[in-house]
C-alpha cells in the first residue's frame, strides 16, 4: 500500500505524479532518505538544527569545514585530517578580523567557491 504516515494525516502517494521507483531514482530524494536514516546524522540534525540561527551557524561551519578540506587537498595533494581542520576552524573563529572576513566570504559568495577559497588562501593557514 502506498501510504505515508504524517503527523496530520495518512497521505496516499498513489495519486502523486511519481511512482515509488521514480522517487527512489531521484538522486536528491535518495540521498536525503539515506542521510536522514543514518543515526549519526539524525542525532547531529536534532542537536544543531533547532532554530534558524542554529541552522545558519551549522551550515556556515559545514561549508567552512568542506572548503578547508578542498583547499588543503588542492594545495598539498593529501586529505586534511579532522583534528587539523577543527583546529584551523577554531583558530579562524577566535580571531575577530579573520572570522569576519571568512564569514563575509561565505555569506556573500555561498555559491561561488572560488571567492571563498581566495579568502582561505589569503590567510596562509594551510601553507605549512
Give per-residue burial for 45-82: e unless 16+ CB within 10 Å, then b. Answer: eeeeeeeeeeeeebebeeebbebbeebbeeeeeeebee
Cell 551557524 identifies what position? 57
Q: What one-character DSSP code corresponds to residue 77?
A: S
* Side-chain-side CA neighbours of residue 67 (13 Å): 26
State the pLDDT at residue 86.
97
State the pLDDT at residue 103.
86
Between CA 63 and CA 46 the distance in angstroms is 19
State the pLDDT at residue 108.
78
Kindly give the confidence (pLDDT) of every residue in the chain, 128 residues in length, as a single tens digit, with 9 standing for 90 and above.
445 544 444 455 555 667 777 877 889 989 999 999 999 999 999 999 999 999 999 999 999 999 899 999 999 999 999 999 999 999 999 999 999 988 888 777 666 656 666 666 766 666 65
State the pLDDT at residue 5.
47
Between CA 72 and CA 124 the distance in angstroms is 11
State the pLDDT at residue 24.
76
Residue 16: Cβ within 10 Å count: 13
State how far Cα 97 lies from the chain centre: 24
State the pLDDT at residue 25.
86
Total residues belonging to the chain: 128
Between CA 49 and CA 25 the distance in angstroms is 27
Amino acid at each position: 500500500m502506498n501510504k505515508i504516515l504524517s503527523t496530520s494525516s495518512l497521505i496516499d502517494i498513489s495519486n502523486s505524479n511519481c511512482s515509488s521507483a521514480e522517487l527512489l531514482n531521484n538522486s536528491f530524494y535518495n540521498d536525503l532518505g539515506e542521510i536522514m536514516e543514518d543515526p549519526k546524522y539524525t542525532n547531529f540534525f536534532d542537536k544543531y538544527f533547532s532554530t534558524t540561527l542554529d541552522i545558519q551557524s551549522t551550515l556556515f561551519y559545514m561549508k567552512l569545514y568542506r572548503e578547508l578540506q578542498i583547499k588543503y587537498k588542492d594545495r598539498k595533494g593529501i586529505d586534511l585530517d579532522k583534528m587539523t581542520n577543527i583546529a584551523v576552524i577554531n583558530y579562524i573563529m577566535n580571531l575577530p578580523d579573520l572570522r569576519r572576513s571568512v564569514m563575509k566570504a561565505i555569506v556573500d559568495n555561498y555559491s561561488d567557491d572560488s571567492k571563498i577559497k581566495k579568502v582561505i588562501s589569503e590567510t596562509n593557514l594551510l601553507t605549512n
